[in-house]
């Protein structure tokens, strides 16, 4: 959960997020992949931890995104890899306010 060590940062408009595919945004130099599932938005680091593939250009089926490079799959809710139990990719809390998608970035 976000706390005072996080800050909510706008990534884009909710209307920019399609329901059938991910979308990429660049936020403060980071690539963020946004997924819209059942009218909720979820955010993962957009760089696949396998070899750097673009998760925001992957295929979204339900709550599972498939990396376009070699097919690794993640649950967009929390970044959990679907077959490697010990691999959880970086995810970010999200919220929608006034039509804007916000993610909680850690203060660094
Ligand atoms: S870079 Fe994503 S599966 Fe290989």
- CATH code at 95? 2.102.10.10
pLDDT, block means (10 residues), the chain with 108 residues: 78 94 96 96 98 98 98 98 98 97 89
Ligand 1 pocket test: pick from 31, 50, 68 the residue with the most ligand atoms within 8 Å of its Cβ: 50
Give me the pLDDT at residue 20, please. 87
Cα dihedral 44→48→54→56 (10° resolution): -20
C-alpha of residue 68 to centroid of ligand 1, in Å: 7
Q: What is the pLDDT of residue 39?
A: 87
Distance 72 CA to ligand 1 centre (A): 6
- Position 107 scores a pLDDT of 79
Flag whether 108 is in a domain. no
**Structural domain that includes position 22:** 7-103
Report pLDDT for 75: 98
In the chain, the number of structural domains is 1
C-alpha dihedral sign at 16, 24, 26, 76: positive
Could you tell me the pTM of the whole model? 0.93
pLDDT at position 98 is 97
Structure tokens at 28: 């403060």
Which atom of ligand 1 has the smallest separation from the CA of 67?
Answer: 2
């Amino acid at each position: 959960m976000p706390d005072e060590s996080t800050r909510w940062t706008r990534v884009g408009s909710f209307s920019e997020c399609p329901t059938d595919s991910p979308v990429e945004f660049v936020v403060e130099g980071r690539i963020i992949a946004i997924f819209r599932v059942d009218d909720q938005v979820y955010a993962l680091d957009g760089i696949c931890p396998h070899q750097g593939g673009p998760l925001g250009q992957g295929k979204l089926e339900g709550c599972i995104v498939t990396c376009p490079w070699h097919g690794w799959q993640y649950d967009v809710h929390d970044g959990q890899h679907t077959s490697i139990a010990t691999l959880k990719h970086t995810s970010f809390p999200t919220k929608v306010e006034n039509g804007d998608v916000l993610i909680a970035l850690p203060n660094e």
